[in-house]
């Protein structure tokens, strides 16, 4: 049986390409809105760009670290063992 860290590492590696491609595609569309959208869409598009960058970073680096820290797999076993 694999450890929690190994499973999370495998999951992050399998989704890494999709995450970057999705974030990049959305960023291209948002950069078009920033450049061509005028004053009305500039603030919204800039906020969305910031959100996409933070969300992409979070889904790759932060969430895996938090999951390893919480070690949810072992907590589930402890609950089923008590029942």
Predicted TM-score (pTM) of this structure: 0.72
Output the average pLDDT for the chain: 85
Q: Are 16 and 60 in contact (CB under 8 A)?
A: yes
Largest Cα span, the chain: 60
Binning pLDDT at 50, 70 and 90, where does residue 81 land? Answer: low
Nearest to 19 by CA among 68, 51, 58: 58
Cα dist. 41→31, 48, 67 in Å?
11, 10, 36
Using the predicted structure, report yes or no on whether residue 75 has a pLDDT greater than 80.
Answer: no
Q: Is 38 left (phi over 0), alpha (psi -120 to 50) or beta?
A: left
pLDDT tens digits, 8-38? 889 889 988 899 999 999 999 999 999 999 9
> What was the pLDDT predicted at 72?
65
């Amino acid at each position: 049986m694999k450890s929690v860290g190994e499973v999370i590492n495998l999951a992050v590696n399998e989704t890494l390409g999709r995450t970057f491609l999705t974030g990049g595609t959305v960023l291209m569309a948002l950069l078009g809105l920033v450049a061509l959208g005028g004053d009305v869409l500039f603030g919204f598009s800039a906020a969305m760009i910031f959100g996409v960058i933070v969300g992409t970073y979070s889904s790759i680096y932060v969430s895996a670290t938090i999951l390893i820290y919480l070690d949810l797999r072992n907590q589930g076993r402890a609950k089923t063992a008590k029942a």
